[in-house]
Structure 1
Amino acid sequence: MPNSTPHSAFRLPLLLLLLSLLSLLANISTALAAHADDGDDILRLINPLIGSTNGGNVFAGATRPYALAKPVANVDGQNTGGFATDGSKVTGFSAVHDLGTGGNPSLGNFPLFPQVCPQSGDDGVNSCQFRIGDRAPHYVNDSVVAEPGRFAVELVSGVKAQMTSSEHAALYRFEFPTGGGGDPLVLLDLTDLWQSRQNASVSVDAFTGQLKGNGTFLPSFGAGSYVMHFCVDFHGGDVRDNGVWVNNRAGTEPKSLYVTRGFNLFFVEAGDWVRFQNLANNTLTARMGLSFISTEQACNHAATEIPKPLTDFDRLVSETQDAWRQKLSPISIKAGGASEDLQSSFWSGIYRGMISPQNYTGENPHWDSGIPYFDSYYCIWDAFRVQHPLLTILDPVAQSQMVNSLLDIYKHEGWLPDCHMSMCSGLDTGWLERRRRAAIIQDAEVEPLEWSYQGRGGLQSWKSLDYIPYLDFDPLGFGTNSRSVSRTLEYAYNDYCLATLAQGLGKADVYDKYIQRSTNWRNIWKEDQTSAIQGNDTGFKGFFQPKYMNGTWGYQDPIACSALADFCSLTTNPSETFEASIWQYQFLVPQQISTLISLMGGDEEFISRLDFFHTSGLADISNEPVFSTVYLYHYAGRPALSTKRLHTYIPSRFRNTNDGLPGNDDSGSMGAFVVFGIMGLFPIAGQNVYLISAPFFEELRVTHGVTGKTATVRVVGGFDPAYANVSIQSVTVNGEPWTRNWITHELFTEGWTMEITLGAEESAWGTRPEDRPPSRISGS
């Protein structure tokens, strides 16, 4: 999402993860090899540059699944993910990044920058350029190569760079132009993309040119700071000289440097440099190890994972590609004539969904519980809707490890996180059950002092008034006192998911308590509220509105914070809804959609409102809260309209192009939305419900990573790749008629076969009240 900041109080993501993974704690089994329609290597269809401009903020560089090391070029333009195809300038090459974040750029620490310094009178090093604004050249547009395991680019200076990676280390090849008139130099900059460095140190070995050091930085979201360590060594040439640089000056003495921000927070540009001569084939190889623990561990990562830097490049690329083939292996398709562009969007979406969160096992400087540890959750408010449900299907073991990591964070920090960036703010089943229930109930019942990034705020009012009030009086904890409407809706669904968990555990009293609280959203529904656009009444009545503590109504224009108005940021213009309008949030009642439909006037009025929302400019497909609204026609008994609505967004807003994402990818959420759309299924996160729509391929198969059983979704009776026939006429599951317009997760765990017959005209399939998704709480 643009300028994304997480919703501090959204506890639903953890509930989703916990509810989804009760039985997924076994080791992954061998799965089918992933393949495209023609059986070719699936990696040829992955395009890491999708979303590399237009605010997609993707990571386009080299990485293994969930790995720490992520080398790519850093640019001075759209640099949230490091690199962008926006024609900006390259400021360096960094080995750590995040994928698809909004707001402040994330990571990008300790970039290396290669250059050939002009000859000067005394041949001094100060003919080189050191500061970012001075040194950065454009890149050659058609030189960019991005593929799983390798990234390459040529600078207009003539320097060519390519890079690959292992789990914790990056390997660079810098090819310098011939006849450059000077000796090649590589500098290391003690900075990150955000220039958040608080202090840093570096030293250079006078004889080998090895660089060691660390720095303290701020996370792109969250409290506190983190320390990252690096270790760089060079191969393929002789060291001529080296030293340190500060701002735009450099020297050969001293050989070490420490920089900090003074009392006025002045930011000093500084680092180390090494100049080389006698390069073989004008090429210099640089190996960089990273660690959150120590410089020694960073050096050890580099030495053990890349023991032969001059010859390991191709091996690393090959091993990385094999790792991706294995991760993609649970799924295979028969495209049935669907375009390669659509196939590329599909496979690239899965690929991006397995880049973050990152596996930091052995790299947590605060504790080691002896289990796999994942971090870089940015942010679960975005990712819970589709990315984590997708991982639950395609990589359940990694997903269960992520859940265990979140519970481990709760164990050591006392709260489940909304976001957990750069570590800033086996289990036996019995332990896991106790821990997950305790963690979720604490979030529902105990307010932390600082609820901007963990826990819930306003719990005193939530319990006594049954809604979050406008201008709430909340002396128990502190956070941005806004979002009263969206927090009320989200807390209600959080409590519904908690009730569902309690029901599964046989805790009737807990279930009764939280199922009642899950209906609190009704308390902010204002039945006579209208909405106008530029003075013209939309014709719809009844919207959510903020409510004061005394029960009287406040007011927020229902179109505020929509695509027709100003974007609402948590920090710049907080409102009573978060990053979306009341028009969008009016549909966020997944536990009681049937009740919502009644409040809106019945099925036809609900459909009319959905249509208006999606055709008036109010719907913002660039932000995750809108995803489910594409499919809500199912709840009104018109599943065919969901598929038709989906086709207005795919592929028009999700394409196999550099600008092919409508908003930032948010750890792969945009890509996961595309994947589910093409599969013909949409998850209602936190419930055992997948809404069925028309697939974009003739057949998809998914082999479950724990049970080993293969689910099949197949179009029968003729598949139309022109998509004139997108209305479901009938469905069978395991050969038996299936009239419900939704299905459960057993499709994947039990390996069911779902066969779908499509036609041009809307049919009666899935339209009866008894065939609609569950959406009413008993007694409501």
Structure 2
Amino acid sequence: MTALVALCLPPFAATSRADGRSSNVSLVNPFIGTTGASSTEYGGMIPSTAPPFGMTRWSPMTRDNYVSRTPYHLNDPKITGFIGTHQPAIWMGDSGYVVGMPGVGAVKTAAADRGLAFTHADETASPARYTVNMQTGAGQTLRTEMTATSRVGSLRMTYPHGAESNFVLQATRPGITGQVHVDPRAREITGYNPDRQDSDLGPFKAPHFKGYFVARFDTPFAGYGTATGATQYEGRADRTDGNVSAYVRFPSGTQKVQVRIATSFISVTQARANLAAEVPDDQSFEQTVARTRAQWSGKLDRVDLTGATPDQKAVFYTAMYHALQYPSEMSEHGRYYSAYDDKVHSGVSYTGYSTWDTYRAENAFLTLFAPERINGMVTSMLQDYQQGGWLPMWKNITETNIMVGTNADSIIAEDMAKGFTGFDRELAYRAVYKDAMTPPDRDTELDFHDREQGTPVEARAGLTTYKRNGWVAADHTSEAGSRTLDYAYEDWAVAQIAKKVGKTADAHMFLARSNNYKKLFNTSTGFMQSRNLDGSWADGGFTEGDQWVYTLDVLHDIPGLIALKGGDEKFASWLDSYFAGGHNNHTNEPSHQAAYLYDYAGQPWKTQEQVRRIARTNYANSPDGLSGNEDCGQMSAWYVLSSLGIYPVNPASAQYAVGSPFFDKAVLRLPASSRPLVISAPGAAAKPYVQSLSLNGRSITEPSLSQTDLVRGGHLKFTMSSAPQAWAATTAPPPPNPEPAYDMGCAGCAGSRSAR
């Protein structure tokens, strides 16, 4: 891709690690993915600061955010605020956000009036701190620094000398009724914002949902007021209204001000407790920066690369930074608000579950790099099932019914296959069994088109006809081709869970049903094709892809797909046409496994070629360096795993297809491993082809590795070549037969085995 702007801003001073080297946190470029040629089809990322999986991410704000629009875009000329956002992806909405903005001179409470110009030369970002100098007049700048914990944002302002200083806290926008309260004695502004921009999606309306906040200043107020839009009410401490905000002015001559803004989904009282727990009054701004940076260091410094260029390192560690943001925490120190039943519960909870995207590689990435989170994430999904009746499809605070399929089935099957046991396995089976066997309400009445409003939980829409005929009927249900293929794979995943809990008969039934993908194969065209209720072929019916892409969407039975296509040679030739014809669209997830399918057809060197090409053309160290939406970590997880030479074509199998490592050496200190995994591939930059592979001295002759191979550590040695090689050409990956890597439930993922 051609970079629009060659922006790679210098990081803050590097922190040293125990081994004396600079932390890899310094290599992250948070501006990757902040712009692109399209207004929506780019990375959709923001230069946010928060720890891994932070509940509230803090970002400079250059525009109002909503569905298909994030709060920061690199090309915007002004900053209108600093937002505590819960927006998980560009094409989802925000919920319970809060915005703060410093100003000079007359107080400006309307967003349209308060923007301040800035340049990227005066802007610096890292995962733990963001700094910008905004222009307030001739030769004057207002400096704002920002850091954050999971639930608290901290802003430090340096106002121009001699200027009258103020700060505006906006709770809601026009049409949204919120509340603000100013307490000058406590030097606080408190309130709430009930806005859920996706509230028109899904059946759960969460009538009591609010994003609460407590903003505590370190400087006394010289004056204060409340406002609705540009209309101000000087000296008025309370206001419940639409487009509501509060403001404070500081004493004349004030230059340095710090404000800590705590957030909560539970109450103002809980927000105040979050403030005390995460950024107490005696904790300095620099201490907060250091603690958040240390959390990132604890993840990013587990991987060291040799033979990577500076740009490759920036892309790699930024990809880790992106992937480690999802899903985000929703619980608050042992309690959480559930939008499914509109109540507060005890436990751990997560949100931002884009399961249709993330089941492919993001979850596999998390099982390797954040295994301590996995049991809690599964438990969170099971709580959603208990409180809302179904596992999440696309949870953005609550179910939104976005995308197709019940891909939580795959995530749970994968986690169980990899040995995670710290959740209720019987409850998990009941949940996935319901996904697979119970049609959604009104299944025969609604077509469940994209973002359809007023629908029940979509779950497996069209399951009625799928169970009857073996396919979702295209003349009754939207996106029927994609759904059929997804349901077949998910049936396979449910079968694996059934085996684990001793439901042998169910396992056989679901395995048989997983062959339904064959019913979409049109032998006269060689493509997968949607079908109507009467069995006739239908046009379209695919989600973010076409018949070329979806003909490859058989993750659980690639040998069966190859047989349908006429065998290895014909299948590989068809793949050649697929890539040569430009049908592989890496910006959308159904294409993500395609390059690895040559492994299964006896031509793994073509996998090695294509993976390198895809990485080269879709990822770059520039603001437009993501070709498509990040999609809650999936785009970045693809890059991280592919750059290490592996990819989970069938995630629920606990196996990885082998590709082509990008670097001479990668040392991985995985949290659940007792020793590092060293992946060596000398000369990889100029030698993309695998000549041989060994693991701890044992020759690997098939293009496949297991989770066990990786988490046990040791030496994974690639011998690379500049020309295509016959390695693994006669030994396809084995049939999926998942076995636990370790008992991960969960002492083995808390760090006790860590080498760091």
TM-score tier (shorter):
0.7 to 0.9
Letter of the 1:76 partner, please give it: R
Trace 1:16-415 onto structure 2 (pairs within 5 A).
39-54=21-36, 55-76=42-63, 80-99=69-88, 101-107=89-95, 109-118=97-106, 128-157=107-136, 158-180=141-163, 183-191=164-172, 198-207=176-185, 209-220=187-198, 222-223=201-202, 224-225=205-206, 226-236=209-219, 238-259=220-241, 268-280=242-254, 282-308=255-281, 312-329=284-301, 331-335=302-306, 337-362=307-332, 363-366=335-338, 370-377=346-353, 379-415=354-390
Q: Secondary structure at the match of 2:616?
A: coil
Q: 1:607, 1:34 → 2: CA distance?
A: 48
Letter of the 2:79 partner, please give it: V
Pair 152,97 (structure 1): closer, same or farther in 2 beyond 3 Å? farther
Q: Secondary structure at the match of 2:246?
A: strand
Which residue of structure 2 lines up, in the alignment, with residue 755 of structure 1? 717
Letter of the 1:400 partner, please give it: N
Which residue of structure 2 lines up, in the alignment, with residue 720 of structure 1? 683
Pair 36,676 (structure 1): closer, same or farther in 2 beyond 3 Å? farther
Trace 1:573-592 onto structure 2 (pairs within 5 A).
576-592=541-557
Which residue of structure 2 lines up, in the alignment, with residue 738 of structure 1? 700
Which residue of structure 2 lines up, in the alignment, with residue 611 of structure 1? 576
Pair 607,402 (structure 1): closer, same or farther in 2 beyond 3 Å? same
Q: 1:370, 1:672 → 2: CA distance?
A: 31
Q: Secondary structure at the match of 2:257?
A: strand
Pair 709,165 (structure 1): closer, same or farther in 2 beyond 3 Å? same
Q: What CA RMSD, in Å, does the superposition of the two structures yield over aligned residues?
A: 2.7
Which residue of structure 2 lines up, in the alignment, with residue 5 of structure 1? none
Pair 389,213 (structure 1): closer, same or farther in 2 beyond 3 Å? same
Q: 2:665, 2:362 → 1: CA distance?
A: 22
Which residue of structure 2 lines up, in the alignment, with residue 534 of structure 1? none
Cα distance, 1:661 vs structure 2: 0.5
Cα distance, 1:65 vs structure 2: 1.4
2:495 pairs with one of 490, 494, 499: 499
Q: Secondary structure at the match of 1:652?
A: helix
Cα distance, 1:666 vs structure 2: 1.3
Q: Deviations over 1:115-170 (max 9, x none)?
A: 1135xxxxxxxxx4322223223322211111121011222323221111123211
Pair 388,597 (structure 1): closer, same or farther in 2 beyond 3 Å? same
Pair 418,452 (structure 1): closer, same or farther in 2 beyond 3 Å? farther
Letter of the 1:515 partner, please give it: L
Q: 1:674, 1:160 → 2: CA distance?
A: 35
Q: 2:187, 2:158 → 1: CA distance?
A: 18
Q: 1:333, 1:205 → 2: CA distance?
A: 49
How many residue pairs get aligned? The number is 671
Is the 1:75–1:84 contact (alpha carbons within 8 Å) kept by the matching residues of 2? yes
Which residue of structure 2 lines up, in the alignment, with residue 708 of structure 1? 674
Cα distance, 1:345 vs structure 2: 1.1
Is the 1:734–1:754 contact (alpha carbons within 8 Å) kept by the matching residues of 2? yes
Q: 2:456, 2:480 → 1: CA distance?
A: 14
Q: 2:230, 2:275 → 1: CA distance?
A: 30
Q: Deviations over 1:401-456 (max 9, x none)?
A: 1111111221222210112222567x995972211111100110112327765521
Trace 1:641-680 onto structure 2 (pairs within 5 A).
641-680=606-645
Cα distance, 1:347 vs structure 2: 1.4
Is the 2:144–2:156 contact (alpha carbons within 8 Å) kept by the matching residues of 1? yes
Pair 185,334 (structure 1): closer, same or farther in 2 beyond 3 Å? closer
Is the 2:65–2:94 contact (alpha carbons within 8 Å) kept by the matching residues of 1? no
Pair 240,36 (structure 1): closer, same or farther in 2 beyond 3 Å? closer
Q: 1:517, 1:491 → 2: CA distance?
A: 9
Cα distance, 1:657 vs structure 2: 1.2
Which residue of structure 1 lines up, in the alignment, with residue 691 of structure 2? 729
Is the 1:59–1:97 contact (alpha carbons within 8 Å) kept by the matching residues of 2? no
2:532 pairs with one of 542, 548, 563: 548
Cα distance, 1:207 vs structure 2: 4.7
Is the 2:355–2:394 contact (alpha carbons within 8 Å) kept by the matching residues of 1? yes
> Which blocks of at least 5 consecutive residues in structure 2 are unaligned?
1-14, 37-41, 401-415, 443-454, 739-756
Letter of the 1:174 partner, please give it: M
Q: 1:234, 1:766 → 2: CA distance?
A: 63
Is the 2:349–2:376 contact (alpha carbons within 8 Å) kept by the matching residues of 1? yes
Aligned: 1:464 with 2:468 = yes
Q: Deviations over 1:508-551 (max 9, x none)?
A: 2112101111011111222223xxxxxxxxxxxx2122211111
Which residue of structure 2 lines up, in the alignment, with residue 536 of structure 1? none
Q: 1:621, 1:165 → 2: CA distance?
A: 33
What is the identity percentage for the equivalent residue pairs of Structure 1 and Structure 2?
25
Cα distance, 1:776 vs structure 2: 12
Q: Secondary structure at the match of 2:524?
A: strand
Is the 1:35–1:333 contact (alpha carbons within 8 Å) kept by the matching residues of 2? no
Cα distance, 1:338 vs structure 2: 2.1
Is the 1:635–1:773 contact (alpha carbons within 8 Å) kept by the matching residues of 2? no
Is the 1:59–1:83 contact (alpha carbons within 8 Å) kept by the matching residues of 2? yes
TM-score (norm: length of structure 1): 0.81
Cα distance, 1:312 vs structure 2: 0.8
Cα distance, 1:391 vs structure 2: 0.6
Pair 351,412 (structure 1): closer, same or farther in 2 beyond 3 Å? same
**Larger RCO of the pair (alpha carbons < 8 Å, separation 6+):** 1
Letter of the 1:365 partner, please give it: Y
Is the 2:599–2:732 contact (alpha carbons within 8 Å) kept by the matching residues of 1? no
Cα distance, 1:614 vs structure 2: 2.5
Is the 1:703–1:748 contact (alpha carbons within 8 Å) kept by the matching residues of 2? no
Q: 1:200, 1:383 → 2: CA distance?
A: 34
Following TM superposition, the consecutive aligned residue runs of length 4 or more in structure 1 with deviations greater than 6 angstroms are 33-38
Q: 1:105, 1:143 → 2: CA distance?
A: 29
Pair 429,208 (structure 1): closer, same or farther in 2 beyond 3 Å? closer
Q: 1:452, 1:613 → 2: CA distance?
A: 38
Is the 2:95–2:194 contact (alpha carbons within 8 Å) kept by the matching residues of 1? no
Which residue of structure 1 lines up, in the alignment, with residue 732 of structure 2? 771
Aligned: 1:449 with 2:441 = yes
Letter of the 1:189 partner, please give it: Q
Q: Deviations over 1:294-352 (max 9, x none)?
A: 1111122223432237x6100001111111111234x33341x3201111211111121
Letter of the 1:758 partner, please give it: M
Which residue of structure 2 lines up, in the alignment, with residue 564 of structure 1? none
Q: Secondary structure at the match of 2:356?
A: helix
Is the 1:153–1:161 contact (alpha carbons within 8 Å) kept by the matching residues of 2? yes
Cα distance, 1:487 vs structure 2: 0.1
Which residue of structure 2 lines up, in the alignment, with residue 22 of structure 1? none
Q: Secondary structure at the match of 2:47?
A: coil
Pair 334,65 (structure 1): closer, same or farther in 2 beyond 3 Å? closer
> Which blocks of at least 5 consecutive residues in structure 1 are unaligned?
1-32, 119-127, 260-267, 473-480, 530-541, 557-575
Cα distance, 1:71 vs structure 2: 1.5
Q: 1:775, 1:611 → 2: CA distance?
A: 25
Cα distance, 1:486 vs structure 2: 0.2
Pair 440,776 (structure 1): closer, same or farther in 2 beyond 3 Å? closer
Is the 2:161–2:253 contact (alpha carbons within 8 Å) kept by the matching residues of 1? no
